[in-house]
Structure 1
Amino acid sequence: MRILFIAVATPPHVYPLVPLAWACRLAGHEVRFVTAGSVSAVVTQTGLPATKIRSSPVFSAEERDALVRSVYSQPPWPRDYGVNRHLLDSDQRGLLTWLGRYMIEASESLADGLVEFTKVWRPDLVVHDAVTYAGAVAAAVVDVPAVRHLFGSASYPRLELTPPDPLPEYVQLFTRFGVPPTTSAAMIVDPTPPSMRQTAESPRLDMRYIPYNGAGAVPDWAHAPQERPRVLVTWGHTNAESLGGAAADPFSDTMEVAAELGMEVVVLTDTPLQYVLPHCDLIVQQGGDGTTLTAATFGVPQLMISRKPDAELAPARLAAVGAGIHLKYQNLRDDPDSRAVVREAMVKLCEDSSYRDAAARLRAEISAQPSPAEVVAGLEALV
């Protein structure tokens, strides 16, 4: 059968779909990964058949900058707010609505080109990223099942909803193509390990998280004899894109403390995580879902320093299972003893075996989930 994959035009939303897309292709299905904008090159590097569709601008630079400033200026939010919106105040709920409208607008920019291509290619199934609502629209237009593919803990907040109702802009995204709006999917694919989920949506296919963070090569140092503990420091694609050089600010203390503790410090900017994490003893990172789940897959303990609401979700769940420590940049920034806090966390992660034991249990839990190849049968049953 023909299976169309679609994600909004940013690598963190494309990468989680790649393992399932390849599994479908290797099972003999005809796969097409639809892209737009600069992310087209990212998809092409996966080796998957890609089609670039026309798209229109999303927000102006000024509007995007205003949203970035608002997101990164937030104080810490309540734990697991994605499924506990009653814990949020009116300003926080307002920001979620703003983010929802932003993601709907991103889908709006893809919708015409995607629907146009879908009518021509006639897929039997559409698999779309959790916040790429245009995929659900295109599936409805050609009357085929839509599968919502989650990307981790941060995909649980339903940004398109003001629970239980969809935002007006979401409704309009469907109705302008003459199809009724829907907030459900024929199936949900969830690569989040059960112990890190905020909720269990259904109908659902559980899937093992397979790390894919882009194309690249294993660096030479990864195979060199290791004489001391190695810590990997990264602040993620989204932070770097949004903040530029300031994205590194929360991690300056960690790099200095690691050096003082006699650790080898590796700062990762370009090399995909899946090639280097098997050769590291600890990771210090920003709380992104892809980073967190990739490290969890390799059983590496994690120090997570979040600085925006969506980046608090995965770290909170990982800390709850004991596989890492979650610190919030807003608290560190205002704490005169922040360096001591960071040092204590890094010493614990290196010397307290309970963190490595918990990371090993989480790794085993991930490994026990059905592989993407096994999930393909569940997709076939939908058609």
Structure 2
Amino acid sequence: MLFVTGGSPATVYALTPLATEARNAGHEVLVASNAETMEAVTGAGLPGVCVSDVPIRHHIYHDRAGTPLVMPEDPDLAIRAIGHAFGRMAAAYQEPLLELARCWRPDVVVGGTLHYSAAVLAARIGVPFVRHSWDSGEPLVVDEAAAVEMRPELDALGLAGIPGTALWVDVCPPSVRDPEALQGTSMRWIPCNLQPPLEPWMYSKGSAPRVGVTAGTKTAPGYFFDYLVQLAVALKKLDAEILVSAPPAVAGQLSEATGMRVGWLPFDTVARTCDLLVHHAGGGTALTGMVYGIPQLVVPNMPKLVAPSQRLAAYGAARVILPGDDTPEALADAAGDLLANDHYRERARDLAEEANAMPAPQEVLGLIEKLV
């Protein structure tokens, strides 16, 4: 089984449970990804093959010729721009993946939601393709934009479009899925991340409410850095313990900017102890909150994250504050409401019950075995 992912560590963490289950069942597994995510692959104990040195940020902010691009301010155009970026990543992956398949031919290819090169590779070598979601749903226009970007590659191969999938694995609980999305095979979300040695405060807490704050695994100067500072500082007025999670490379700078302790947290462990998660609406963070039954304050930092956030809020397990409305006062008031109101906790627990009743990776692996 060849797993294809990349773009951020989160895209690796999402596929780790199924890839690990496959290895434990005795199957041969390789994970093809790009250089920026290799630590996440090998840190999960999985065999990784680097098929590109180019980070996803380059594809987002540069065209194929290397000409700088500016992310559109219009939300609809910004969503399409993400599709074009992942289309460029797919084009960069295409030949290295084919060369890998010549040396190590998989019987099935499993690709993360936006890793279109996985679908193309499976079609080229004639094996089943499994598409594996990594969040609460991507807008369909992302697929459309990626197909436009990949038109030269698709035409060269005689493909009318990005090839379809033999199996669609959906990790989002049904109650908060996009009603217009394709119907897939459900699989339980299992939180994964790099593991530091645990300290007692990571798995236990005191009497004060605990709030976990993050802007995801890609936070860097000029990239969601100021956004995370704004979130953390706004929550200072709460009578709560605030834990800020960020990549180690920027932890010192963030600690200085916020006056708070900041570090890489083993979120699968720490989140269980939290009474509230405050974050950027990232798929992995949101799904972790869902399976652990934790109320969430989501402040989407990308247009494509707005709709999934609103579905979570409509269910009653979260509140959403959109960009422009995210004043310090609004953030603090919303966080205080989420901590004080039992309704959010009850709805979050209801959603957790649904999420944890979804099929385990072992069951989904059985469906993939039947495809082969």
With normalisation by structure 2, the TM-score equals 0.86
User: Does the 8 A contact of 2:231 with 2:331 survive in 1?
Assistant: no
Aligned to 2:273: 279
Shifted more, 131-140 versus 340-349: the winner is 340-349
1:220 corresponds to which letter in structure 2? P
User: Does the 8 A contact of 2:235 with 2:331 survive in 1?
Assistant: no
Deviation at residue 237 of structure 1 after TM alignment: 2.1
Cα RMSD after superposing both structures: 2.5
Within-5 A mapping of 1:29-108:
29-54=27-52, 59=58, 63=62, 70=71, 74=73, 91-108=74-91
Give the one of 6, 11, 14 matched to 2:12: 14
CA distance in 2: counterparts of 1:63 and 1:206, whole angstroms: 35
Deviation at residue 92 of structure 1 after TM alignment: 4.1
Within-5 A mapping of 1:1-383:
3-54=1-52, 59=58, 63=62, 70=71, 74=73, 91-161=74-144, 167-177=147-157, 181-199=161-179, 201-202=181-182, 204-224=184-204, 226-240=206-220, 243=223, 245-258=225-238, 262-269=239-246, 270-332=264-326, 338-383=327-372
2:86 corresponds to which letter in structure 1? M
User: Does the 8 A contact of 1:302 with 1:349 survive in 2?
Assistant: yes
1:264 corresponds to which letter in structure 2? E
2:6 corresponds to which letter in structure 1? V
Deviation at residue 178 of structure 1 after TM alignment: 5.2
Unaligned runs of 5+ in 2: 247-263
Q: Secondary structure at the match of 1:160?
A: helix
In 2 relative to 1, CA 156–212 (structure 1 residues): closer, same or farther, beyond 3 Å?
farther
In 2 relative to 1, CA 184–341 (structure 1 residues): closer, same or farther, beyond 3 Å?
same
Deviation at residue 15 of structure 1 after TM alignment: 1.4
1:330 corresponds to which letter in structure 2? G
Q: Secondary structure at the match of 2:298?
A: strand
Q: Secondary structure at the match of 2:134?
A: coil
CA distance in 2: counterparts of 1:167 and 1:310, whole angstroms: 18
1:98 corresponds to which letter in structure 2? A
In 2 relative to 1, CA 201–185 (structure 1 residues): closer, same or farther, beyond 3 Å?
farther
CA distance in 2: counterparts of 1:274 and 1:213, whole angstroms: 7
1:102 corresponds to which letter in structure 2? A
Unaligned runs of 5+ in 1: 75-90, 333-337
Deviation at residue 290 of structure 1 after TM alignment: 0.6
CA distance in 2: counterparts of 1:225 and 1:238, whole angstroms: 27
User: Does the 8 A contact of 1:57 with 1:109 survive in 2?
Assistant: no
2:15 corresponds to which letter in structure 1? L
Deviation at residue 141 of structure 1 after TM alignment: 1.0
1:169 corresponds to which letter in structure 2? E
- Percent identity for Structure 1 against Structure 2: 30
User: Does the 8 A contact of 1:282 with 1:301 survive in 2?
Assistant: yes
Shifted more, 151-160 versus 345-354: the winner is 151-160
Q: Secondary structure at the match of 1:379?
A: helix
Aligned to 1:83: none
Deviation at residue 312 of structure 1 after TM alignment: 1.6
CA distance in 2: counterparts of 1:120 and 1:376, whole angstroms: 24
1:188 corresponds to which letter in structure 2? W
Aligned to 1:77: none
Number of residue-to-residue matches in the alignment: 351
CA distance in 1: counterparts of 2:100 and 2:23, whole angstroms: 20
1:8-37 CA deviation, whole Å, 9 max, x = no partner? 332122211111111111122111111222
